[in-house]
Amino acid sequence: PSVGIVRETNDGERRVALVPKVVTTLIGKRLDVIVEPGAGQGALISDELYKEAGAAIGDAWSADVVLKVAAPSPEETARLRSGQKLIGFLAPRTNETGIAALAAAGVEAYAVEAIPRISRAQVMDALSSQANVAGYKAVIVAASESTRYFPMLTTAAGTVKPATVLVLGVGVAGLQALATAKRLGGRVTGYDVRPEVADQVRSVGAQWLDLGIDAAGEGGYARQLTEDERAQQQQALEDAIKGFDVVITTALVPGRPAPRLVTAAAVEGMKPGSVIVDLAGETGGNCELTEPGRTVVRHGVTICSPLNLPATMPEHASELYSKNVGALIELMFDENGVLAPDFDDEILSAACVTRQAVVV
Ligand code: NAD
């Protein structure tokens, strides 16, 4: 059986689904790997490096299993054939037409977002590996946009106070943002609606902001807040946010528009020169004044809403994603090396979104 690595075509997407190291691993498991010419270019991986790892350069779309990062475009879906397997970030909750098209084409598609977050699947957890990159890079963006230092400095020319950094939404991205801001010397605080996160926040040396709202939902995710809770939260945050130089927001509720945490009034209350980095732009943003994909200045505050931050660090983002995808592929083969996904396996049954021409 063969695995194909195709070139990503989305604007700004520089990641590639498999790096040479994992190609070698799969070849060791008696799989053939076919790479579309230039597939690794964005991540600075030449065709030559793939060849050295044992891959063939050729028609990757003809492989038994096609690997992608982003969901395929309609043109790309048209290149897939019935029975072929596809793995990628297929956005099963929001990309209804794309998923329906994959089903209609008879493709057996696996969405990495749908992999259950159980310990056995941790190595395949692409949401986490990429959220980690985003959380780190969000802090770098904030530091770059800031008119102030992050660390405390005592110099002959005077003393600089450390930046105060607030992270709203402490999942995987938020926790990495806290840790990164801390390493840069900021004074960091974390906030979430899942009280269980408090200990994780403290474990990276951050303070926990308690607003008294518990909205822990299913499977470790947050539930949507009620109207009353939302108003209470916005008011409390409006008061809290005033004191921070940098606010990084990462709050998401699965399948819902991003919760509005930072109102226009809260932005107005911040000191000019402060920075907000909103990682929830793809689902509308956590800040009322966010313009997804753009950097704007409102009331003297710089509000950045970078989309797809993992694509801006293609080397490591690809390396980690590759590890996730490689582990998922291995799970799809039986002990004789036959490509035969076992749908009694909860990981495969959850990840598979189209099968035998239906959306499952
Ligand atoms: P996410 O991206 O869905 O959301 C980010 C954060 O936003 C979450 O912490 C959520 O609680 C928070 N949030 C939502 N609404 C909010 C609001 N109104 N105000 C403030 N915060 C709000 O989260 P994620 O990073 O995907 O992590 C979700 C959960 O999955 C976490 O519990 C995480 O520890 C868990 N997880 C488990 C595993 C595993 O066991 N394999 C792996 C990764 C993550």
Which among 81, 117, 256, 294 is annotated as catalytic? Answer: 117
Return d(Cα 139, Cα 117) in angstroms, integer: 26
Dmax (CA) for the chain in angstroms is 71
pLDDT of residue 244: 98
Residues whose CB falls within 8 Å of the CB of residue 49, separated by 6 or more in sequence, listed in order: 20, 40
> 122 catalytic, yes or no?
yes
pLDDT of residue 353: 97
Distance 201 CA to ligand 1 centre (A): 13
Q: Does ligand 1 lie within 6 Å of residue 262's CB atom?
A: no
On whether the CB atoms of residues 240 and 268 are closer than 8 A, the answer is no
pLDDT of residue 297: 98
Which ranges of the chain have pLDDT less than 50? none
> 128 catalytic, yes or no?
yes
DSSP 168-199: E--SHHHHHHHHHHHHTT-EEEEE-S-GGGHH
> 298 catalytic, yes or no?
no
Q: What digits encode the pLDDT tens for the residues 220-229? A: 889 999 999 9
Kindly report the pTM of this predicted structure. Answer: 0.96
> 125 catalytic, yes or no?
yes
The number of beta carbons lying within 10 Å of the beta carbon of residue 11 is 9
Query: Which of the listed residues 172, 286, 328 should we mutate to test ligand 1's pocket, taking the one with most ligand atoms within 8 A of CB?
Result: 172
Q: Does ligand 1 lie within 6 Å of residue 120's CB atom?
A: no
Question: Which residue has its alpha carbon closest to ligand 1 atom 33?
Answer: 171
Q: What digits encode the pLDDT tens for the residues 268-322? A: 999 999 999 999 999 999 999 999 999 999 999 999 999 999 999 999 999 999 9
What is the Cα 17 distance to its own chain's centre?
A: 14
pLDDT of residue 337: 80
pLDDT of residue 315: 98
> 344 catalytic, yes or no?
no
pLDDT of residue 35: 98
pLDDT of residue 255: 82
